[in-house]
Structure 1
């Protein structure tokens, strides 16, 4: 039996990494863990988890979070995690399967603790 690797790049199986967070079985213990689980949720198109872990002040309305079906998240590198901020680079492919184009999204993300749990507030995206 092959266990599905976690999209967050931890090297662990999804069922032992971000899966329990997505299922609501446990909460992220750090901003970095929340960011990694949110990256995995984008990779898996899990809008419910993304909305649940977004600060109410900055969260999009239901239906506003739309996934690009031609975009595939393929890698994640955390470059810094200090206090309530995480810097990361997310790698993606977009376009047709036979001729994908590669890209990267770099973000300085801010998190806050609300009601005993970490939530994503916002981030500054760089090219």
Structure 2
């Protein structure tokens, strides 16, 4: 039995993000790369995250390890995405998580920029936005099908 992909695509991990983790060039759109990067955070795959980040300031494996140790990823919500040209695109997303130290639920709400270089997409940078937690009776951010108050908001 195969397990669901971390990126909430409704596909099995082996059919969704695993091939991209093995070969980043198989992420054929900015959204596909964003989903695979979220899954890499869930799997604590710093090597993949570094390999798919193209910017002057790429996080180190040590910096990513700090994120891994203090974060429990709950779910990914793609708000919108577009490919502006053959070599640029963006994805607006909310990556929901629970801080392991405080136990509080929060999210990264970001519009991320992507570039394509040598037939591979890369994350470059993102503009963060302020996110509001769901109300008690809204669906949970982990996509369990339960209300937020009965699941991650408890």
Report TM bin, short chain: 0.7 to 0.9
Q: TM-score, normalised by structure 1?
A: 0.88
Q: Name the structure where helix makes up a greater proportion of residues.
A: 2
Which residue matches 1:10? 9
CA RMSD of aligned residues (A): 1.9
Offset from partner CA, 1:5-49 (integer Å, 9 cap, x none): 110000111111001111227520000000000011011110000
Q: How many residues of Structure 1 are paired with residues of Structure 2 in the alignment?
A: 124
Which residue matches 1:69? 69
Unaligned runs of 5+ in 2: 84-88, 131-154
Alignment partner of 1:15: what SS?
helix
Unaligned runs of 5+ in 1: none
Offset from partner CA, 1:44-69 (integer Å, 9 cap, x none): 11000001111153423453433342
CA distance in 1, matches of 2:75, 2:103: 15
Offset from partner CA, 1:57-108 (integer Å, 9 cap, x none): 3423453433342311111111110120100011111236xx8321111000
- Trace 1:25-44 onto structure 2 (pairs within 5 A): 27-44=26-43
Which residue matches 2:90? 85
Say yes or no: does 1:94 pair with 2:99.
yes
CA distance in 2, matches of 1:24, 1:38: 12
Larger Rg: 2
Q: Which has the higher contact order (CA 8 A, sep 6+)?
A: 1
Alignment partner of 2:34: what SS?
helix
Q: TM-score, normalised by structure 2?
A: 0.73
Q: In the alignment, is the contact (CA less than 8 A) between 2:6 and 2:42 conserved in 1?
A: yes
